[in-house]
Chain A
Amino acid sequence: MGALELDQPGKTVLMMGNEAVARGAIEAGVDFCASYPGTPATEILESLARVAERFGIYAEWSTNEIVSLETAAAASLAGLRALVSMKQPGVNVCSDFLMTVNITGINGGLVLVVADDPRAMSSINEQDSRNYARYADLPLLEPADCQEAKDMTRWAFELSEKLRLPCILRTVTRLSHSRRNVKLGDLPTKKRTAKFEGVYISRDQDLAVAQHAALHQKLEQAREEFEASQFNFYVGPRKARFVIVTCGSGWVYSREAVAALRLKGKVGILKIGTTWPLPERFIVDHLKNVTEILIVEDVDPFLEQNIKILLAEQAKTLGPIEVYGAKSGHLPAYGEMNQDKVTQALASIKGLKPRVRDEKYVEKAKELALAYIPPRMPTFCPGCPHRASMWAIKSALKLDGRDGFVAGDIGCSSIGTGLTGYFQVKTIHCMGAGIGLANGFGKLDRFAFNQPVIAVCGDSTFYHAAIPALINARVHNSNVLMVVLDNGGTAMTGFQPHPGSGLDAFGQPAPTVEIENICGGIGVEFKVRDPFEISQAIEDLYDMLQDSGPRVMIFRRRCFLIEAKEKLQKKYYVDQSKCIGDDCGCARFCSRVFNCPGIIWDQEAQKAKIDEVVCTGCGVCATLCPEGAILVRGAAP
């Protein structure tokens, strides 16, 4: 039995941050959860769905983040406890609803968990979603470790219910994806039933203004709750003159930096877990004898600016306090925080020399690394249908010859910006932006624009964000060719189901919404092709490029990571008597140009070779080899 469902209060287990959030929700008796997949948030709903049946929880992968928030909010309005989780750009998508559900209020506890991604390790940006809490006047909690991730999630439901207000819990990749000791709490015993009562309307003029005023009162109530929260505490000497004020992952980096510089007797740490609204009395009490503070947090100077406002308001009580942080230039307001950055900032303020690595050693090690390590670039997986699709796009655009380009989108297809996507993708922004931008490019003909534009997106993205723009293209007869790379699931995040998959979050059969039915309903011309039938794919795509108005090509082929697991695939090999190596004139097409990790250049034979461990047997290279040297094992040549 996994730790998520373990009924052993007090037992310590190893738990990932996202699992800890899920466990906290389970301990709080969550009834209803919804999410859209996105790293680093995905495992929250995945964990909940895994144990949903046992705890009588409903879980779904929604079409997009605003739908997930609205769906979860409905459960709350009917008196249930609901959790919605997403990565940071998801909050932009759901913000429209967030900006009204704050003023109508809710009923059962509603917790929005947002996993930010400092350093954009798996994201298009590193936006700091905490700003939404201040913007929407909603309480914000920031766990510092996995234990707090669990405990705060549990508490957030109570708080939300008490205030009748959604609560935001913000984690970062480094917390969501780290595993640490977590002491389990008790599991819920009673179940709730759903019943809708009351009125939740946000409306113009008087009502909206009155609701806005009431929202501010609720926020003051939240502040009062925060004043006594166990998640805010001070560690350090009683009368420290220098205090680090920190939140989230910054807490442990600060503690380690203070220890590394042997400043435990001199520097205190004020750790804030409830970062909006700030527990003002608590903070002021701990800064009374302080003359300098350093503020440590991930990404934006959110805490820093709010603390500075507080210091200005309390100037009479506190006197002048020097504030170090992002504005002073001691810490960056971008990228990911870590212990080294805090140590350096603290050392420079204190005029200390941090222990540094032996320069000669570092120089030698880095020189060796540079000399010996060939680059590892992100690639499409072996057998990925996107490689064939991008090849078809590249070939069709080249045949067309009008300097066409690809407006790209989010997900696996975004690897098309790189070597294995043949550098075809020229724009990438948010979900659905490819077709949105293509709409505009497609209306530039009156300005002498004649480059063909292909908008590429994945299947999950199509359902999530592409449909309104496609309708727009139809209505305004925009010259755009949309290519949907349909691999049957949300592949980048681990193959979660979407409306076309025919499965729900529990893995049970579900109705499907077909992409071609949507295209047909909108009234745009469409074709469905298998990208592995590559000559046909290129020819049809080229033909479509010659038409005008909105058109959709659906390249349909299941993600080969999934396909190869389920079915025995054909074994391919290079017949080295047929491969003529560099004499061919193909410029090592299969290994160097087509760029599949399954095809190796055999240095000894100076010919191509298949790596049979890596090759998934898709067979696309066999159809492209000019000498027909790539063959199926056991088949007649």
Chain B
Amino acid sequence: MTLEKDPLNLIIAGVGGQGNILASQIVATAGIKEWLYVTVSETYGASQRGGPVMSHVRFSAKAQCGPLIPEGEADIIVGLEPIEALRIIADYGNPSTRVIVSPNPIYPISVLSGQAKYPPVEEVIQKLGGLVAEVRVVKAIEEGETGLAANIVMVGALAGSGMVPIGMKNFEESLGEIMSHRDLDLNLRAFKKGVELARGKVAVPAPVKTRKRK
């Protein structure tokens, strides 16, 4: 297999507790089933919960990549949380980066306690659009839902978007290997919901004002 871009660099960004690491493991295991070299690396701070967490996932048909994506070299960003997607773009984005983002915010303690303000989500997404080639908004959590399995919805959205060269069957096999039997049905449903959402949603091509890199 050859990749259109090699290595293909994906970042999954979110907050501790959202299941970011599990999501990256599912995508990576599916990648190995496509006979690719896959490298996954997680970065997080000291807190188990509430801190920003990102996973770097790199696919190559040629060689095992290093664990870290160089600055500005993310091809795809999956944001489990809107401002976390923005945080990642600042360090790793470029004008041809493509973004899939969940619009459901996780408020930091500074916001919960009323000491800082969380920006309006529509505005964050609009600003994201000004920085990258494509933003797909995938509403992983409906009103009244708790957000369990939202990470798997986003994995489904990534699969459905066609941005990674991995077949549906390998994604589903990977889910079956990684998720416990008890939760598999729930997670397969979440995955399929994500696939539908990404396919149904026509990408909103945002106005790109910055000059595209050659």
Using CB atoms and an 8 Å cutoff, list the residues of chain A in contact with chain B: 12-14, 121-122, 145, 147, 174-175, 177-181, 249, 252-253, 255-256, 260, 338-340, 343, 357-358, 360-362, 364-366, 368-369, 371-379, 381, 414-415, 419-420, 492, 561, 588, 591-592, 595, 597, 599-601, 603, 611, 613
Q: Which residues of B contact A379 (CB under 8 A)?
A: 47, 49-50, 109
CA of A627 to CA of B112, assembled, Å = 20
Interface residues of B in 136-164 (CB under 8 A from A): 146-147
Q: Which residues of B contact A374 (CB under 8 A)?
A: 83, 108, 110-111, 116-118
Central interface residue in A177, A255, A357, A365, by most chain B CB within 10 Å: A365
Among residues of B, the one whose C-beta sits closest to the C-beta of A175 is B67
21 of the cross-chain contacts (CB-CB < 8 Å) are A179-B25, A252-B66, A255-B63, A339-B66, A339-B68, A340-B70, A361-B95, A361-B131, A364-B210, A365-B131, A368-B131, A372-B86, A374-B117, A374-B118, A376-B15, A377-B50, A377-B51, A378-B46, A415-B47, A597-B49, A601-B114
Convert B59-88 into 0s and 1s, putting 1 for each residue whose CB lies closer than 8 angstroms to a CB of A: 000011111101110000000000100110
CA of A600 to CA of B116, assembled, Å = 12
Q: How far is the CB of B23 from chain A (nearest CB, A)?
A: 13
Among residues of B, the one whose C-beta sits closest to the C-beta of A375 is B110
Q: Which of A178, A181, A378, A613 contacts B47 (CB 8 A)?
A: A378
Central interface residue in B15, B40, B67, by most chain A CB within 10 Å: B67
Assess the B90–A366 pair: CB atoms within 8 A. yes
CA of A375 to CA of B116, assembled, Å = 8
| B32: interface (CB < 8 Å) | yes
CA of A181 to CA of B59, assembled, Å = 11
Q: How far is the CB of A408 from chain B (nearest CB, A)?
A: 13
CA of A371 to CA of B109, assembled, Å = 17
Decide: A595 near B109, CB < 8 A? Known: A14-B25, A340-B71, A365-B93: yes
CA of A536 to CA of B43, assembled, Å = 41
Assess the A415–B46 pair: CB atoms within 8 A. yes
Q: Which residues of A contact B182 (CB under 8 A)?
A: none
Central interface residue in A256, A371, A378, A561, by most chain B CB within 10 Å: A378
Decide: A378 near B119, CB < 8 A? Known: A181-B38, A592-B113, A601-B113: no
Assess the B95–A378 pair: CB atoms within 8 A. no
Convert B18-57 into 0s and 1s, putting 1 for each residue whose CB lies closer than 8 angstroms to a CB of A: 0000000100110010000111111111111111100000
CA of A368 to CA of B93, assembled, Å = 13
Assess the A611–B83 pair: CB atoms within 8 A. no
Assess the A343–B115 pair: CB atoms within 8 A. no
Assess the A601–B109 pair: CB atoms within 8 A. no
Q: Which of B41, B51, B111, B147 contacts A378 (CB 8 A)?
A: B51
Central interface residue in B28, B110, B112, by most chain A CB within 10 Å: B112
Assess the B67–A122 pair: CB atoms within 8 A. no
Among residues of B, the one whose C-beta sits closest to the C-beta of A493 is B48
Central interface residue in A362, A374, A375, A414, by most chain B CB within 10 Å: A374
The main secondary structure of chain B at its interface with chain A is: loop
Assess the B65–A377 pair: CB atoms within 8 A. no
Q: Which of B50, B67, B94, B118 contacts A361 (CB 8 A)?
A: B94
CA of A174 to CA of B40, assembled, Å = 10
How many B residues touch the partner, as a band?
35 or more
Assess the A177–B45 pair: CB atoms within 8 A. no
| B12: interface (CB < 8 Å) | no
Q: Which of A181, A343, A365 contacts B70 (CB 8 A)?
A: A343
Q: Which of B48, B51, B52, B67 contacts A174 (CB 8 A)?
A: B67
Q: Which residues of B contact A588 (CB under 8 A)?
A: 113-114
CA of A12 to CA of B67, assembled, Å = 18
Among residues of B, the one whose C-beta sits closest to the C-beta of A590 is B113
Among residues of A, the one whose C-beta sits closest to the C-beta of B174 is A14
CA of A253 to CA of B58, assembled, Å = 14
Central interface residue in B114, B124, B146, by most chain A CB within 10 Å: B114
Q: Which residues of B contact A376 (CB under 8 A)?
A: 15, 50-52, 108-110
Assess the A368–B41 pair: CB atoms within 8 A. no
Among residues of B, the one whose C-beta sits closest to the C-beta of A594 is B113
Q: Which residues of A contact B118 (CB under 8 A)?
A: 374
Decide: A364 near B131, CB < 8 A? Known: A181-B38, A379-B47, A595-B109: yes
CA of A256 to CA of B213, assembled, Å = 21
Q: Which residues of B contact A419 (CB under 8 A)?
A: 109
Q: How far is the CB of B61 from chain A (nearest CB, A)?
A: 12
Assess the B32–A13 pair: CB atoms within 8 A. yes
Q: Which residues of B contact A178 (CB under 8 A)?
A: 39-42, 67
Q: Which residues of B contact A611 (CB under 8 A)?
A: 112
Assess the B49–A357 pair: CB atoms within 8 A. no
Assess the B42–A177 pair: CB atoms within 8 A. yes
CA of A360 to CA of B212, assembled, Å = 12
Task: Kindly list 10 other residue pairs between chains A and B, CB separation below 8 angstroms, not including A178-B67, A369-B87.
Answer: A174-B67, A177-B42, A179-B39, A255-B63, A338-B68, A339-B68, A368-B131, A375-B110, A379-B50, A592-B113
Assess the A592–B90 pair: CB atoms within 8 A. no
Q: How far is the CB of A487 from chain B (nearest CB, A)?
A: 13
Q: How far is the CB of B151 from chain A (nearest CB, A)?
A: 15
Q: Which of A260, A591, A597 contacts B50 (CB 8 A)?
A: A597
| B127: interface (CB < 8 Å) | yes
CA of A419 to CA of B50, assembled, Å = 13
Q: Which residues of B contact A381 (CB under 8 A)?
A: 48-50
CA of A368 to CA of B210, assembled, Å = 14
Q: How far is the CB of B115 from chain A (nearest CB, A)?
A: 6
Q: How far is the CB of B57 from chain A (nearest CB, A)?
A: 9
CA of A415 to CA of B37, assembled, Å = 38
CA of A613 to CA of B114, assembled, Å = 18
Q: Which of A255, A358, A592 contacts B210 (CB 8 A)?
A: A358
